[in-house]
């Protein structure tokens, strides 16, 4: 299985590492596409929240993390789990509800955890991932451990109180917390810009005294640079950082949901054709002479193979005991 290299806190990356990010983004894309298809076929119960289009945010942040650093995720969390190093086999088995899943088949799509890799859980409560990561950031601070806790959450969470209560405490106590808002423009079906007072998520974060930055969430390198700076700041005892990653989901809020009345096909296609994170990284690598068409095709084939194997593993796994 391809992996994201352990790069400590350096923003510098080798060609091998960069190709590794591309490989991981392709795996996430194929996994999410297959998971949505399997949901519609009745293989995965309860539905999923696909993150197709948002791969660069997860991979860019994970590229500066070690196993000791932790990640907490929201309901749309498959890409965070895979970027952190979760086994596609065990993740798919969890979606199927099988005993070999990361949560024993009892958690499903929204309740994933693998403490061995530092993935401390996803959950379906909007904004709760920030509070979970806050607790772990406090633990790291209290124990004098040189590590960070990362909280991913969606733009819908910027209008919930629990998010900012956690940010406030992390700021007051200078905890090693990195808060990453994946702003995909829509909270379910509501345009975030229409319900967010003040117009700027970053300015809102700055009001709590934290370092805050907005980055292009479709550029894995830009996300990585911001995450690297945030980690360095946290480990130096300078407190939390808030990162707004401007991104986009091609699928609906949940599996099987089409564009509907709140988005147009043209809008989705514009993001796919001009701002797709995988195609942008592939183009950059090709321009630099660091990947050929044949090499990219091999990465695609490997991603397809890993997902095929994950589906086989899930289908052949036993159900949990009653």
In this prediction, residues 86-93 reach a mean pLDDT of: 98
Among residues 251, 283, 298, which one has the least CA distance to residue 53?
A: 251
pLDDT tens, position by position, 202-229: 999 999 999 999 999 999 999 999 999 9
User: Tell me, what's the pLDDT at 13?
Assistant: 81
pLDDT tens, position by position, 137-193: 999 999 999 999 999 999 999 999 999 999 999 999 999 999 999 999 999 999 999
**What DSSP line would sit under 119-180, residue for residue?**
EEEE-SSTTHHHHHHHHHHHHHHHTT-S--EEEEEEGGGGGSHHHHHHHHHHHHHT--EEEE
Structure tokens at 7: 């790069």
What CATH number does the domain containing 101 carry? 3.40.50.970
Q: Is residue 296 part of a domain?
A: yes
Q: What element of type H or E holds 28?
A: helix 15-40
User: Tell me, what's the pLDDT at 9?
Assistant: 37
In this prediction, residues 65-89 reach a mean pLDDT of: 98
Q: Are 26 and 278 in contact (CB under 8 A)?
A: yes
What percent of the chain shows pLDDT beyond 70? Answer: 95
CA 58, 250, 43, 127 torsion: positive or negative? positive
pLDDT tens, position by position, 251-279: 989 988 876 678 999 999 999 999 999 99
Q: How many H helices and E strands in the chain?
A: 11, 8
Q: Is residue 2 part of a domain?
A: no
Q: Is residue 3 part of a domain?
A: no
**How many domains is the chain partitioned into structurally?**
1
- Name residues whose C-beta falls within 8 Å of residue 113's C-beta, 6 or more positions apart in sequence: 102, 103, 107, 119, 120, 121, 122
Q: Say yes or no to pLDDT of 58 above 50.
A: yes
User: Tell me, what's the pLDDT at 259?
Assistant: 66
What percent of the chain shows pLDDT beyond 90? Answer: 91
The Cα diameter of the chain in Å comes to 55
Find the domain containing 221 and state its range: 15-316
Percentages (nearest 5) of helix, strand, coil residues in the chain: 50, 10, 40
Q: Are 81 and 122 in contact (CB under 8 A)?
A: yes
Q: Say yes or no to pLDDT of 1 above 60.
A: no
What pairs with residue 32 in β-bridges? none
Q: How many CA atoms lie within 13 A of 60 on its CB side?
A: 31
pLDDT tens, position by position, 230-239: 999 999 999 9
Among residues 204, 176, 206, which one has the least CA distance to residue 192?
A: 204
Structure tokens at 250: 């091609």
User: Tell me, what's the pLDDT at 146?
Assistant: 98
CA-to-CA distance for 60 and 77, rounded, in angstroms?
15
Count of Cβ atoms closer than 10 Å to residue 35 Cβ: 28
CA-to-CA dists, residue 312 to 89, 189, 309, angstroms: 8, 34, 5
CA-to-CA distance for 245 and 214, rounded, in angstroms?
6
Q: Is residue 146 part of a domain?
A: yes
pLDDT tens, position by position, 2-43: 334 443 334 568 999 999 999 999 999 999 999 999 999 999
User: Tell me, what's the pLDDT at 262?
Assistant: 86
Q: Is residue 269 part of a domain?
A: yes
| Residue scoring higher pLDDT (8 or 284) | 284
- pTM value is 0.94
Q: Is residue 7 part of a domain?
A: no
Q: Is residue 137 part of a domain?
A: yes
User: Tell me, what's the pLDDT at 132?
Assistant: 98
């Amino acid at each position: 299985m391809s992996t994201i290299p352990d790069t400590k806190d350096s923003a510098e990356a080798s060609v091998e590492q960069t190709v590794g990010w591309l490989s991981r983004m392709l795996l996430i894309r194929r996994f999410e596409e297959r998971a949505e298809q399997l949901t519609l076929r009745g293989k995965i119960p309860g539905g999923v929240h696909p993150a197709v289009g948002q791969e660069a945010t997860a991979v860019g942040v994970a590229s500066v993390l070690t196993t000791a650093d932790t990640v907490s995720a929201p309901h749309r969390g498959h890409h965070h789990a895979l970027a952190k190093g979760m086994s596609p086999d065990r993740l798919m088995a969890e979606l199927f509800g099988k005993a070999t899943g990361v949560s024993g088949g009892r958690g499903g799509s929204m309740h994933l955890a693998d403490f061995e890799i530092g993935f401390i859980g996803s959950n379906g409560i909007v904004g709760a991932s920030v509070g979970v990561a806050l607790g772990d950031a406090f633990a790291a601070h209290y124990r004098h451990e040189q590590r960070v806790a990362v909280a991913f959450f969606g733009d819908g969470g910027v209008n919930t109180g629990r998010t900012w209560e956690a940010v406030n405490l992390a700021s007051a106590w200078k905890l090693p917390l990195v808060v990453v808002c994946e702003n995909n423009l829509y909270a379910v079906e509501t345009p975030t810009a229409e319900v967010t007072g003040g117009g700027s998520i970053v300015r809102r974060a700055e009001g709590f005294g934290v370092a805050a930055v907005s980055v292009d969430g479709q550029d894995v390198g830009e996300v990585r640079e911001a995450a690297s700076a945030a980690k360095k700041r946290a480990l130096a005892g300078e407190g939390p950082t808030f990162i707004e990653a401007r991104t986009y989901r091609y699928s609906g809020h949940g599996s099987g949901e089409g564009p509907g009345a709140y988005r147009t096909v043209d809008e989705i296609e514009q993001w796919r054709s001009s701002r797709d994170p995988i195609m942008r990284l592939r183009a950059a690598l090709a321009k630099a002479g660091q990947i050929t068409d044949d090499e990219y095709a091999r990465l695609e084939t490997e991603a397809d193979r890993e997902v095929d194997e994950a589906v086989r593993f899930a289908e052949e796994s036993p159900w949990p005991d009653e």
